[in-house]
Structure 1
Amino acid sequence: MRANTSLIGHILGSHPQINGYYEQHIGYYSWRSLIRQKLIYCNQHSLKVKSMFMFDKVLHNEHFVSPVLLNSANSKVLISIRRPETTIPSVINLYKKVDPTHIFCTVEGATDYYVKRLHYLADICKKLDSYYYYDAEQLRDDTAMCLSKIADYLGLTTALSSEFKTQILTGVGNAGDHSGNLNAAKVKKETTDYSDFDLTSIDINSLTKIYDDTVRGIKI
């Protein structure tokens, strides 16, 4: 969560070979879950002619994803993590807007989510035969290279573009980012400055070590 996932979702969802761009908030238990995903998407969208992928992003541990499905020859897995010093404030700011009573509005709550999510990603990567990892920051800092490598991993026949289409669920409900940044319909290099955000209630050095260890383990 808050790792530029709505941005990459819209970039992928604007490609002619990919259907889907938003978060469905469902789990993936068996092949039936893949049918469910397609039915949910087709309730409001049409499948693209000659498309080859259905996209979803799964951001929360409570949504189970079967490693068996992810290890299918027809599955592709993208994993991305953002640094804690920007992720924690971003989570807090989001939930203060959408649900001010949520535990994620606190530094402690957002930090607990972040740590548990990193542990989950580290664990599931050990069960996967193949996946592609990229640092969330790379999508903005080195867009062309990041998108080129993702396109190669997915085996797309044409390049991914830093410009994308806004969709009928862009910024709507719980489908993804509500900030309005996606309305620019392109990758924006500038990001929110969280340098003055008060993180003194947590040990940011320990949190950074967890991040570094997780990313190092996933990249192996």
Structure 2
Amino acid sequence: MKDLNIRQLIRVTKNEVIQNYHRFRIDTTQSPYHIIGRSQPYRILFILSHMRSGSSLLTHILNSNPDIIGYGETHIQYASEADFKCLMLKVYWQAQEFRKLSDIKNFSMHQKYILDKVLHNNKFLSESFLVSPNLYSIFLLREPQRSLASIAELKPHLSEEQVLDYYVKRLSMLEHYAQLINSKERSLFITHNQLLEQTDLVFDALHDFLGTRQGFSEDYQILRTTGMRDVGDHKGNIKAGHIIRTPRKLKNKISPDLVEKGMQSFNQCSATLSEYCTPVGKMIGFLN
């Protein structure tokens, strides 16, 4: 019991030291993009998508690049750029581990991008920061047939009509965000199908769009938050550590007329995002 208490005290003390270190570096400066001891500002990277879109897979692929740090949905409600400080604190606490002496490298805070994914319409209390030159967005869409069935499985308390209502309203909001940002240099549009079937093209697009020092891989790191509820996918194959292309069997089936309505929203949103963002299919030759 005594040894257990000592270990617990050491763990609590270690956690306090780590969190105080992050707070000091992040909160000492007023700028929402700067921290102390670092000359270059951070860039904020949002995955703007909807539930069951493949956003957890994309998050893990992005986060395995040394220039990017994140872990999934932070559920922060953003009222202004000042909330990016909260994002930094959450990400650096959740996305890294300090268990071994070699983990001391995690104190460097060297990444170029701080990543969050936003899947719901109530997370942006203000939209003014979306036009910031330090904010980059990746829009991710998935066709409605599997999206709706998967959402229905995830949220069994919702009716088919409520599932469709979420999907349609979310895609409409994504159109609004793209039009507001209105920057092909800071917004990229990809689909779930492209991520699985045109993977190399997507990876090249991500590399050019984000200007990372390294490219991207189908193999990704498993985080301590991987598979956790309210952070990301906990029903799929996310813990495999690599892309799995065989679709998971779904119990739910959505009425064809509702799928058709979802398809209308998908096509409309795709057209808008293709106009206001850089679509992956046209990324060849694009340099950030």
**Cα deviation code 1:77-104 (max 9, x no counterpart):** 00011001110001111224xxxxx32x
> Is structure 2 residue 264 aligned with structure 1 residue 209?
yes
Q: In the TM superposition, what is the alpha-carbon distance from 1:148 to its structure 2 partner?
A: 1.3
Query: Given the superposition, is the C-alpha separation of residues 206 and 174 from structure 1 closer, same or farther in structure 2, using an over 3 Å criterion?
Result: closer
Q: In the TM superposition, what is the alpha-carbon distance from 1:166 to its structure 2 partner?
A: 0.5
Mapped partners of 1:18, 1:192: distance in 2: 29
Q: Give aligned pairs, total.
A: 212
Residue 89 of structure 1 aligns with an amino acid whose one-letter code is A
1:126 alignment counterpart = 179
> Is structure 2 residue 206 aligned with structure 1 residue 150?
yes
1:27 alignment counterpart = 77
Alignment partner of 1:182 out of 216, 238, 242: 238
Query: Given the superposition, is the C-alpha separation of residues 119 and 153 from structure 1 closer, same or farther in structure 2, using an over 3 Å criterion?
Result: same
Q: In the TM superposition, what is the alpha-carbon distance from 1:29 to its structure 2 partner?
A: 2.2
1:111 alignment counterpart = 164
The DSSP-based 3-state class of the residue aligned with 2:189 is strand
Structure 1's consecutive aligned runs of 4 or more residues displaced over 4 angstroms after TM superposition are 46-49
Q: In the TM superposition, what is the alpha-carbon distance from 1:66 to its structure 2 partner?
A: 4.4
> Is structure 2 residue 186 aligned with structure 1 residue 166?
no
**Cα deviation code 1:16-67 (max 9, x no counterpart):** 0111031101122222110000111223335665211100000000111644
Query: Given the superposition, is the C-alpha separation of residues 47 and 10 from structure 1 closer, same or farther in structure 2, using an over 3 Å criterion?
Result: farther
Q: TM-score scaled to structure 2, two decimals?
A: 0.69
The DSSP-based 3-state class of the residue aligned with 1:134 is strand
Query: Given the superposition, is the C-alpha separation of residues 203 and 180 from structure 1 closer, same or farther in structure 2, using an over 3 Å criterion?
Result: closer
> Is structure 2 residue 130 aligned with structure 1 residue 78?
no
The DSSP-based 3-state class of the residue aligned with 2:181 is coil
Mapped partners of 1:47, 1:149: distance in 2: 30
Residue 8 of structure 1 aligns with an amino acid whose one-letter code is L
Residue 272 of structure 2 aligns with an amino acid whose one-letter code is G
Contact (CA 8 Å) 1:67, 1:128: kept in 2 or not?
A: no
Contact (CA 8 Å) 1:78, 1:133: kept in 2 or not?
A: yes
Contact (CA 8 Å) 1:138, 1:146: kept in 2 or not?
A: yes
Mapped partners of 1:149, 1:202: distance in 2: 35
Mapped partners of 1:20, 1:2: distance in 2: 19
RMSD of Structure 2 on Structure 1 (CA): 1.9
Contact (CA 8 Å) 2:152, 2:252: kept in 1 or not?
A: no
Mapped partners of 1:93, 1:197: distance in 2: 6
Rg (Cα) greater in structure: 2
Identical columns (%): 28
Query: Given the superposition, is the C-alpha separation of residues 48 and 136 from structure 1 closer, same or farther in structure 2, using an over 3 Å criterion?
Result: farther
Query: Given the superposition, is the C-alpha separation of residues 212 and 41 from structure 1 closer, same or farther in structure 2, using an over 3 Å criterion?
Result: same
Unpaired stretches in structure 1, ≥5 consecutive residues: 97-101
Contact (CA 8 Å) 1:108, 1:202: kept in 2 or not?
A: no
Contact (CA 8 Å) 2:131, 2:181: kept in 1 or not?
A: yes
Mapped partners of 2:234, 2:207: distance in 1: 26
> Is structure 2 residue 59 aligned with structure 1 residue 9?
yes
More strand as a share of residues:
2
